[in-house]
């Protein structure tokens, strides 16, 4: 019957039933369905439907979904935020320094927070009970409508600061997280809530505006369509300079009261949990007002938002860059030369630019050696980058790049302010040990000795690899809690063949509580050892033992040294952990100076300042 077909069938369903059906649809499907007709639009607008969609995103629990709803206008707005930040959840790394830059992105309160795990020792309480040391790196906060605001964290003169910015669209399969500076057009209001506006350079604005007067349609099209210079094409010194200029201008000191919590503690005490939510709600409001009002405004007294404070105007750029980069008047000269191009000449130059060839406009070629070398330079000029916008501001760019890797560790560029995502796969029947593990040396686990009151904490990413018909289990080191690193990040602490049982016995009969041990499986393999130097370690035979209570232990056969491991829940560990001050802003995002020692030791408690435990068995 027609009245029970098509949209009529959906419209006749109760909200609860339609909410159940909507579990089979994605948020994109829901938005598409709402475009069909007015009646379906009203049906899809149901709060129950979008609450179900928030649950389906899977970032936070159902209880947290209801708590987060208090900070946004609707469940639909909350779902918008959750979908936009979901690809960021996980572990991000950088090669430098060798002992740090492991950043875990986790939910906060209507936000996601990037937390650096610091190199550290664990005391007698072990991994589960010992406080994990961490420092904030950045956070992305959801606004009332589900839009995002970015805040870089940093420390200046012993005080916590935040540096507001914007977030580019986050790709679903992003694997690189870049801290960049982006030029933007102020008048176009493409980023209506994300522009930093300070004292405007009206003289320069009028000068640029006059340069467009009297141009033909094709000449205006040339200027408007000219390809923007990406931030990545600038030289490393210019990129660092721009980030330092922007952070120096937009940084905001945050009172300790407003910055002590970035996410609620565990729910085992509901009364304290609700107090945490109240504090986080107040802190979030404070940061969003900082983002809207900017420096120089009293956010408690300002009746309305006078400007958008996440960008620097030309005047601020010129003050900071002219001293070292030359006058930006070159920009005006370049603008005048652009007006002399024809549309056909521009298109030919643009095609050559895409193909990586030297540009040539209207068939003309520069004869001087200086011009030739300038055209062939692999780096873009700073004034070319800046002229594509009226203002500049910080931006977080999550993109998908083609990356090579070795044993789950990405090959990392040393001159990019970037973090690289580690592939985290859900364990399955034939790869049940895949995932993140925490480990310490010694047996029984967690028991200190007189000469070693604490044990260095290792983070290991276990992956599987098949080569020449052999299935290998590989434990890649991503964090080491020593004072001076023994092997680089990305080293394989051990590799075992899961198809080759080990005949070696486990050296001990009891666990930490003196209970008898049960060995479920044992695999033969090789563990890391001192070999050809820091980058090219050797290996020695050993065995991986699977013990009851989901414990793993790799034992080097010759020395009987043992690395014991257990699965980690980083969210729970961080919620029970101890926060320490952050590094200065650009270094805090990714520390680009090569270092083999603990550069974070001076910013945390004494427990991170460790002696060098170069194990004899290695």
DSSP string, 138-180: EEEEE-TTS-EEEEEEEEETTEEEEEEEEEPPPPTT--EEEEE
- Structural fold of domain 425-572: Lipocalin (2.40.128)
Whole-angstrom distance, CA of residue 327 vs CA of residue 382: 11
CA dihedral 303, 306, 309, 311 (to 10 degrees): 170
The two beta strands, 391-399 and 159-167, are parallel
Report, in angstroms and rounded to the nearest whole number, the Rg of the chain calculated over CA atoms. 28
**Stretch (H or E) spanning 547:** strand 538-547
Which two structure tokens, joined as six digits, stand for 359?
């540009």
Cα 258 to chain centroid distance, Å, stands at 23
Q: How confident is the model at residue 258 (pLDDT cuts 50, 70, 90)?
A: low
Q: What is the pLDDT of residue 386?
A: 82
Nearest to 245 by CA among 178, 187, 185, 323: 323
Whole-angstrom distance, CA of residue 97 vs CA of residue 119: 11
Whole-angstrom distance, CA of residue 486 vs CA of residue 501: 29
Average pLDDT of the chain is 77
Q: What is the DSSP string of 112-145?
A: EEEEEEPP-EE-TTHHHHSPPEEEEEEEEEE-TT
User: Is the pLDDT at 531 greater than 80, yes or no?
Assistant: no
Q: What is the pLDDT of residue 419?
A: 96
pLDDT tens digits, 459-487: 999 999 987 788 999 999 999 998 888 88
pLDDT tens digits, 347-406: 455 445 444 444 333 343 334 444 444 444 588 888 888 877 778 889 999 999 988 888
First-to-last alpha carbon distance for the chain, in angstroms, is 77
E strand intervals along 234-324: 252-253, 312-313
Q: Average pLDDT of 599-613?
A: 49
Of the listed ranges 2-6, 22-26, 271-275, 405-409, the least confidently predicted one is 2-6
Share of the chain above pLDDT 70, in %: 72
pLDDT tens digits, 24-83: 888 888 888 777 777 777 777 888 889 999 999 999 999 999 999 999 999 999 999 999
Show me where the domains of the chain are located.
Answer: 2-86, 425-572
Candidates 1.10.357, 3.30.40, 1.20.1280, 1.10.1200; CATH matching 2-86: 1.20.1280
Choice between 323 and 270, residue whose per-residue pLDDT is larger: 270
Whole-angstrom distance, CA of residue 391 vs CA of residue 196: 8
Q: Kindly give the interhelix angle for 27-34 and 47-57, rounded to the nearest 10 degrees.
A: 150
E strand intervals along 429-535: 435-441, 455-456, 458-467, 470-480, 492-501, 519-529
Q: What is the pLDDT of residue 611?
A: 38
Whole-angstrom distance, CA of residue 432 vs CA of residue 592: 35
Of the listed ranges 22-36, 82-96, 553-567, the least confidently predicted one is 22-36
pLDDT tens digits, 217-249: 555 545 544 557 889 999 999 999 999 989 988
Whole-angstrom distance, CA of residue 133 vs CA of residue 14: 49
User: Is the pLDDT at 103 greater than 80, yes or no?
Assistant: yes
Whole-angstrom distance, CA of residue 320 vs CA of residue 227: 25
Whole-angstrom distance, CA of residue 232 vs CA of residue 350: 18
Instruction: Tell me how long the chain is.
Output: 618
Whole-angstrom distance, CA of residue 33 vs CA of residue 41: 7
Q: Average pLDDT of 310-335?
A: 49
Q: How confident is the model at residue 427 (pLDDT cuts 50, 70, 90)?
A: confident
């Amino acid at each position: 019957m027609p009245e029970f077909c098509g949209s009529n069938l959906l419209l006749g369903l109760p909200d609860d039933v339609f909410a159940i059906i909507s579990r089979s649809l994605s948020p994109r499907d829901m938005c598409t369905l709402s475009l069909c007709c007015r009646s379906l639009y009203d049906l899809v607008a149901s709060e129950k439907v979008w609450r179900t969609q928030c649950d389906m995103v899977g970032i936070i629990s159902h209880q947290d979904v209801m708590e987060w709803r208090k900070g946004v206008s609707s469940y639909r707005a909350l779902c918008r935020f959750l979908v936009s930040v979901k690809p960021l959840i996980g572990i991000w790394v950088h090669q430098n320094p060798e002992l740090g830059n492991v950043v875990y992105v986790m939910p906060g309160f209507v936000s996601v927070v990037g937390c650096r795990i610091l190199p550290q020792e664990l005391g007698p309480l072990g991994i589960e009970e010992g406080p994990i040391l961490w420092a904030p790196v950045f956070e992305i906060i959801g606004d009332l409508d589900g839009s995002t605001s970015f805040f870089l964290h940093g420390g200046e003169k012993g005080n916590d600061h935040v540096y507001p910015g914007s977030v580019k669209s986050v790709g679903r399969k992003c694997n690189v997280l870049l801290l960049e500076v982006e030029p933007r057009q102020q008048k176009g209001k493409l980023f209506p809530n994300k522009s930093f506006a300070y004292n405007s350079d009206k003289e320069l604005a009028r000068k640029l505006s006059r340069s467009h007067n009297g141009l033909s349609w094709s000449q205006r099209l040339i200027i408007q369509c000219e390809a923007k210079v990406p931030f990545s094409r600038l030289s490393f010194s210019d990129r660092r300079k721009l980030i330092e200029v922007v952070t120096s201008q937009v940084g905001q000191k945050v009172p300790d009261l407003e910055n002590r919590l970035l996410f609620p503690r565990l729910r085992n005490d509901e009364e304290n949990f609700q107090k945490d939510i109240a504090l986080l709600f107040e802190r979030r409001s404070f940061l969003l007002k900082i983002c809207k009002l900017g420096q120089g405004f009293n956010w408690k007294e300002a009746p309305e938002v006078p400007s958008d404070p996440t960008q620097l105007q030309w005047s601020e750029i010129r003050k900071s860059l002219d001293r070292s980069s030359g006058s930006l008047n070159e920009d005006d000269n370049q603008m005048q030369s652009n007006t002399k191009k024809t549309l056909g000449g521009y298109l030919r130059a643009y095609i050559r630019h895409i193909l990586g060839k030297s540009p040539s406009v209207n068939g003309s070629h520069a004869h001087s050696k200086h011009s030739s070398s300038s055209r062939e330079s692999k780096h873009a000029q700073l004034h070319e980058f800046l002229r594509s916008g009226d203002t500049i501001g910080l931006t977080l760019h999550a993109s998908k790049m083609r990356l090579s890797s070795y044993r789950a560790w990405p090959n990392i560029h040393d001159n990019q302010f970037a973090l690289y995502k580690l592939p985290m796969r859900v364990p399955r029947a034939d790869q049940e040990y895949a995932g993140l593990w925490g480990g310490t040396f010694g047996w029984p686990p967690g028991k200190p000795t007189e000469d070693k009151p604490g044990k260095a904490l290792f983070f290991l990413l276990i992956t599987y690899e098949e080569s020449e018909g052999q299935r290998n289990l590989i434990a890649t080191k991503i964090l080491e809690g020593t004072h001076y690193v023994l092997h680089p990040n990305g080293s394989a602490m051990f590799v075992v063949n899961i198809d080759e049982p080990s005949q070696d016995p486990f050296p001990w009969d009891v666990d930490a509580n003196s209970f008898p041990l049960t060995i479920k499986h044992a695999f033969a393999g090789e563990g890391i050892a001192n070999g050809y130097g820091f980058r090219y370690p050797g290996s020695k035979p050993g065995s991986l033992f699977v013990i009851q209570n989901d414990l793993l232990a790799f034992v080097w056969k010759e020395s009987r040294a043992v690395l014991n491991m257990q699965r980690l829940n980083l969210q729970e560990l961080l919620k029970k952990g101890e926060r320490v001050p952050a590094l200065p802003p650009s270094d805090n995002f990714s520390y680009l100076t090569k270092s083999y020692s603990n550069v974070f030791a001076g910013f945390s408690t004494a427990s991170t300042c460790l002696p060098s435990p170069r194990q004899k068995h290695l």
